Chain A
Amino acid sequence: MDSNQKQITKNVTSPDDVKVTQNNNSSSNHPGVEVRLQNITKRFVDKKGNVTVAVDDFSVVIPAGKLIGLLGPSGCGKSTTLYLIAGLHKPNAGRIYFGNEDVTDLPPEKRGIGIVFQNYALFPHLTVRQNIMFPLENMKVPKKEALQRAQEMAELVHIGDLMDRKPSQLSGGQQQRVAIARALVKKPKVLLLDEPLSNLDARLRLQTREEIRRIQRETGITTIFVTHDQEEAMSISDEIIVMDRGVKQQLDHPQKVYDEPVNLFVAKFLGNPPINVIEGYVENKQLKTVTGKVIQNLDVEDQEVQIGLRAEFFMISKNGGIDAEVEIVEHIGRDTMIICRIDGYEKTIRAIVPSDINLQIGQQVKLGYNKIFVFDKTGARLL
Chain B
Amino acid sequence: MLEFKRDHWKGYMYLLPALVFMAIFTFYPIIKTFITAFLEGYSIYGDSRFKLGLGNFIYVFKDKLFWRALGNTALMVIVSVPVSVIIALLISVALNSIKKLQGFFQTVFFLPYVTNTIALGLVFSVLFSNNGLINAIIEWFGGTPRAWITNWQGQGAVPGYDTVTYWRGIFVISMYTIWNSLAFKILVFLSGLQSIDKQYYQAAQIDATPRWRVFTKITVPLLSPMIAYVTITSFIGAFKAYTSVIAIYGETFGPPGQETENMYITIVGYIYQKLHHSRGADLFSVAAAASLILFGIILLITLVQLQVSKKRVHY
Contact = CB atoms under 8 A, between A and B. Distances in A.
A36 interface: no
A108 B208 CA distance: 8
Interface stretch (A110-118, A150-158, A245-253): A110-118
B197 interface: yes
B205 A108 contact: yes
A45 to B, nearest CB: 14
A86 interface: yes
Interface string A133-146: 01101110000000
Interface string B197-208: 101101111111
A138 B203 CA distance: 12
A121 B209 contact: no
B222 A125 contact: yes
Contacts of A125: 221-222, 224, 314
A278 to B, nearest CB: 44
A121 B207 contact: no
A58 interface: no
A120 to B, nearest CB: 8
Contacts of A206: none
Contacts of A88: 202, 205-206
Interface string A219-259: 00000000000000000000000000000000000000000
Interface size class of A (residues with CB under 8 A): 20 to 34
Contacts of A86: 206
B207 A135 contact: yes
Contacts of B207: 109, 134-135, 138, 186
A97 interface: no
B213 interface: yes
A150 to B, nearest CB: 13
Contact of B206 (A113, A123, A124, A137): A113
A355 to B, nearest CB: 47
A221 to B, nearest CB: 15
A119 B197 CA distance: 10
Interface centre among B197, B207, B218, B222 (most CB of A within 10 A): B207
A286 to B, nearest CB: 56
Given A138-B210, A138-B213, A121 B205 contact: no
Contacts of B213: 137-138
Contacts of B197: 119, 121
A109 to B, nearest CB: 3
B199 A138 contact: no
A317 B84 CA distance: 84
B211 to A, nearest CB: 11
Contacts of A108: 202, 205-206
A117 B205 CA distance: 13
Nearest to A166: B314
A105 to B, nearest CB: 16
Interface in B207-263: 207-210, 213, 217-218, 221-222, 224
Nearest to A136: B207
Nearest to B218: A123
A343 B199 CA distance: 54
Interface string B168-211: 00000000000000000000000000000101101111111110
A137 B208 CA distance: 10
A182 B207 CA distance: 9
Nearest to A194: B199
B205 A124 contact: no
B222 A115 contact: no
A331 B200 CA distance: 48
A189 to B, nearest CB: 13
Contact of A124 (B203, B204, B314): B314
B212 to A, nearest CB: 11
Interface string B95-121: 000000000000000000000000000
B206 A139 contact: no
A135 B213 CA distance: 11
Contacts of A109: 205-209
Given A123-B218, A124-B314, A125-B222, A138 B200 contact: no
Nearest to A186: B207
Contacts of B203: 115, 117, 121, 182
Contact of B209 (A110, A113, A138): A138
A107 B205 CA distance: 9
Contact of B200 (A123, A182, A186): A123
Contacts of A121: 197, 199-200, 202-203
A249 B202 CA distance: 29
B215 to A, nearest CB: 14
B208 A115 contact: no
Interface centre among B202, B206, B208, B222 (most CB of A within 10 A): B206
Given A119-B197, A121-B197, A123-B218, A114 B210 contact: no
Contacts of A138: 207-210, 213
Given A119-B199, A125-B222, A110 B208 contact: yes
Interface of B: 197, 199-200, 202-210, 213, 217-218, 221-222, 224, 314
Given A108-B202, A109-B207, A114-B206, 7 more contacts: A119-B199, A121-B203, A134-B217, A135-B207, A135-B208, A138-B207, A138-B209
Interface of A: 86, 88, 107-110, 113-115, 117, 119, 121, 123-126, 134-135, 137-139, 182, 186
12 contacts: A88-B202, A88-B206, A107-B205, A108-B205, A110-B208, A114-B206, A119-B199, A123-B217, A125-B222, A134-B209, A138-B209, A138-B213
Interface pairs A-B: 9 shortest CB-CB: A109-B208, A125-B314, A135-B207, A121-B199, A125-B221, A121-B203, A117-B199, A108-B206, A138-B209
